[in-house]
Chains A and B, each alone.
Chain A
Amino acid sequence: MNLDALWPLIQFLVPFLFMFGFVVALMLPTMIFMERKVSAYIQDRRGPNRANILGIRLFGMIHNVADVIKLLVKEDLEPKAADKTFFRFAPFLVMTIAIMTMAVIPFGEPIAIWGKALHLQIAPLNAGILYIFAISSLSVYGIILAGWSSGNKFSFLGAVRASSQMISYEVALGLSVIGILIAYGTTDLAEMVRAQGANPLTWGVVLSPIGFLLFLTAMFAETNRMPFDLPEGESELVAGFHLEYSSFKFALFFMSEYVNMVVGAAVISTLFFGGWQVPFLSTAMIKQNSALIFSGMMISGGAVLLLISVSLIDAIRRPFFAWGDRRDHEPKVFLPLTLLGGVGMLWLGLGVIPGLDIAKYPWFPVVVVLLLQITAFCAKTFFFSFFFIWVRWTLPRFRYDQVMQLGWKYMLPLGVANIFLTFAFARLWLGWLR
């Protein structure tokens, strides 16, 4: 086998499978589940808990399955007035663009393997951030096509709102990162993460806090999330641009919103929170102390799992309360798993690793680095994905004029000022740290 010929394929496939699996197969259902359960818990409700498979309801996660089945078997309506070609094309465009953005996000330090560097990034572009802006501004097309081709006034109004909002906030979005672009001196996302270093004090959020807030706000507007979800304003537009869509075409819009959010969260963590950098642990440091760090990870993970088991035992032992859920079988199902996992991790961390001669396994430090960095990246992305949901259930919606006012009158000037502020501050701060 000629490795050189296969290499581009491997270089593409490995990060692609990971990213696709993480965003679409893992985060997407989690986000939809969290949207329901977190909103329920924030509002002191119980949230979804009816759908089940043989009595196992997984705290409402089975509702996702029910959703998919429902959306697949529902009738696919197409309004008479719709422009059929574009009507069918729009959801695919929106979904494609949402997924495309994740191509440039790095999720780990490039690993040396078979004498080559495997970039943990689907497309190691040196214009990474520009690519993200270019692609994300395309998503307006999908939305306006959907709204216009539906042949419905409400959809069209929603699409117009969406496009004007997204275009306005794109300006602020672009401006807010210029400061840190100057500070890092690169547009390559992988380089930017490396430039931020493992010390949280040199991360983008410290160098450019205003830029971070502006970027976060603009991201909310870009993904049409809650304080800015005017394109869907139920009370005035019924459902906005996807009003006429049903069945799986609607599902595509629905999912693309969440994919957008997850990718947005990944971009935020990459630009401002050091991407895959593990706080305080640089790659070299992890490699040197891989055994120690790995057993530390295992021990803390095992301890957490054992704590969870204790609470599960408590839940099983405890009598049902009037407000408790009489149909909960999950603790009994999960208890063996958490117990086994916890004991196994503790055994690995305390028993196996300390007695191991690490020098014999040259791949061991690489795996630890990979594990830690991917975990760090996923954790950051998860947090910001959760943040999107958290904010949605906290803030009320803006009026449309307020959205425009905020975008043009406050965020734009602030974004311009932020360029200079960040530049000056980053210089002074980094100089002072050294």
Chain B
Amino acid sequence: MIVVPRPAYSLREKVYFWEIAKGLLVTFGHLARNLWGAALRNRTIQTWEYPEEPRPYPQRVRLLHRLVKRPDGTPKCVACYMCATACPAVAIEIIAEPSPDDAIEKRPISFVIDELRCVMCGFCVEACPKDAIRMDSEVGDLMGTRREDFIFTLDRLLEMKPRAGAYLGDRELEAKRKAGLI
């Protein structure tokens, strides 16, 4: 058995006022620093004004899924069920049919991702042998009022556009950050 001795309070701590004064100094330091920072717009408070100041995403961010198309517009997916198997949240439901193209064995007639179940783990992307499913769409924050808003069907997944724009760590972004411009 380990007995952890309770530290005895010294007289100074028992009198309490000295310690209070020390605490007050600490909080006043923060107050003064942040007041000064607010006056000069320094970076003392590292809060982003979110909706007005969208944060650059890090490069490895996982956004909502999208399905990649072939040049002819058909889905690249070959309905191999790899992603559905890998998915720990059982969020992907695929129904396959034979493909008219002989070189491609199967194609999905229904490919549904339930984004309410999805845990954004990215395993589906890792599992896909065809690079057909990616998590780099424009949408990072999905909002909806009904359950159906979160059910992504094949058409919807194919419509999702890839994200354009800088990521955190991009060269020009870093240069701006270093210059204190953002």
Contacts and interface: CB of A to CB of B under 8 A. Distances in A.
Please indicate which of the listed interface residues A44, A213, A318 has the most CB atoms of chain B within 10 Å of its own CB: A44
B49 interface: yes
A323 B48 contact: yes
Interface residues of A, number: 29
Nearest to B43: A323
B40 interface: yes
Contacts of A45: 45, 47
Contact of A391 (B24, B45, B182): B24
A426 to B, nearest CB: 21
Given A315-B41, A394-B20, A395-B20, A322 B182 contact: yes
B41 A320 contact: yes
A318 B39 CA distance: 11
Contact of B27 (A321, A322, A390): A390
A326 B52 contact: yes
A76 interface: no
A322 B43 contact: yes
B121 interface: no
Given A325-B49, A327-B49, A213 B41 contact: no
Contacts of A328: 41
Interface string B21-35: 001101110110011
Interface string A25-49: 0000000000000100111111001
Given A38-B31, A390-B24, A323 B45 contact: yes
Given A322-B53, A322-B177, A326-B53, A315 B27 contact: no
Contacts of B182: 320-322
A64 interface: no
Contacts of A59: 38
Contacts of A327: 49, 52
A321 B41 contact: yes
Contact of A323 (B20, B35, B40, B46): B46
Contact of A44 (B24, B41, B44, B48): B44
Interface in A343-400: 390-391, 393-395
Interface residues of B, number: 29
B180 A323 contact: no
Given A41-B31, A41-B35, A42-B27, A318 B41 contact: yes
Contacts of A395: 20, 23
Contacts of B181: 319
Given A318-B41, A320-B41, A41 B34 contact: yes
A390 B30 CA distance: 11
Nearest to A393: B27
A324 interface: yes
Chain A contact surface mostly: loop
A46 B26 CA distance: 18
Contacts of A49: 49
B49 A44 contact: no
A311 B181 CA distance: 19
Contacts of B180: 319, 321
B12 to A, nearest CB: 15
A38 B34 CA distance: 10
A314 interface: yes
A394 B27 contact: yes
Contacts of A319: 180-181
Contacts of A44: 30, 34, 44-46
A213 B40 contact: no
Interface of A: 38, 41-46, 49, 59, 213, 311, 314-315, 318-328, 390-391, 393-395
Which 9 pairs, one residue from A and one from B, show the smallest C-beta to C-beta distance? Answer: A41-B34, A394-B27, A322-B182, A324-B41, A42-B27, A394-B23, A46-B47, A323-B43, A41-B31
14 contacts: A41-B35, A41-B38, A42-B31, A44-B34, A45-B45, A46-B49, A49-B49, A59-B38, A320-B182, A321-B41, A322-B182, A324-B41, A327-B49, A390-B31
